[in-house]
Amino acid sequence: MTTLAAAPPKSAGSLRWVLSDSWTVARRDLVHWVRNPTVIFSGLAFPIMFVMLYGYVFGSAMVVPGGGDYREFLMPGMFAQSMMFGAAATISVVAADRARGVTERFRSMPMAQSAVVIGRSTADMVNSLLELAVLVGCGLLVGWSANTGFLPTLAAVGLLLLLRFAMIWVGIFLGLIVSPEAAGATWALLFPLTMISNTFVSPSQMPTWLGTVAEWNPLSATVAATRQLFGNAVPELVGESWAAQNALLLAVAWPVLIVAVFLPLAVRRYNSVSR
């Protein structure tokens, strides 16, 4: 006797069905992450290494105008840089799933089609929370501190996670396009975006044309805004351009724009992807 596959429930389009399937996919991604300690170690060790390298090796030669502490100036930039670098991990995992046929398998199952990309973004946000917590702990050990109250600090963390959320959708879209081999080269694309910014030095200390590019970098907006909210901003390093003076606005506007562009692109690409 042949057993027929159960038909999708009538509530297949309901929010509950989407959330249930999304959590199933997210839990699967988190379990894979936990069972691979090498990925956990490398993912957490990389930002810590950057903190030590720039905070102590390069930072020992850095002088902040106005006499500010360089590590306090640096750490918000490291937090934001880590959130942006997370896109590389998203690209690699999504590309690997597509190459192994996992994505096609999900598409053939009676599940909400949006659950795969939503689940992937949920798992990445959980990973990002852990990574950010480790980085904050590392920052406290090297002398960084948040000098404002609870609410501004919470707002700064929210902006960092908003940037990461935006980069997740960039990562999902690119991961559905590139091969696993090409995904490993995405670091080369992310480095210019993170280096031509206000992460390590102020754009005012760069050549004029490069400083302009750095000021309008989405990463620079998040870094400048979180410095203000953490109480780590150095007034002498705040530029006079519109972008520098409206960092808080841009720190929200840039991620929202990125999500508005790449979320529908990622969903559309997922619905049409084939091995």
What residue spans define the domains of the chain? Answer: 17-59+66-272
Contact present, 241 and 206 (Cβ < 8 Å): no
Supply the DSSP symbol for 207.
-
The burial class, CB within 10 Å (0-12 / 13-18 / 19+), for 153 is middle
pLDDT winner (highest mean) among 11-15, 58-62, 84-88: 84-88
The helix or strand, by DSSP H or E, that contains position 267, with its residue range, turns out to be: helix 247-272
Report pTM.
Answer: 0.86
Among residues of the chain, what percentage have pLDDT more than 90?
27
Token output for 229: 């909210």
Residue 232 has pLDDT above 70, yes or no: yes
Question: How many Cα atoms within 13 Å fall on the side-chain side of residue 88?
Answer: 21
d(CA 258, CA 218): 10
State mean pLDDT over 232-251: 82
| Residue type at 150 in one-letter notation | F
Token output for 161: 């996670």
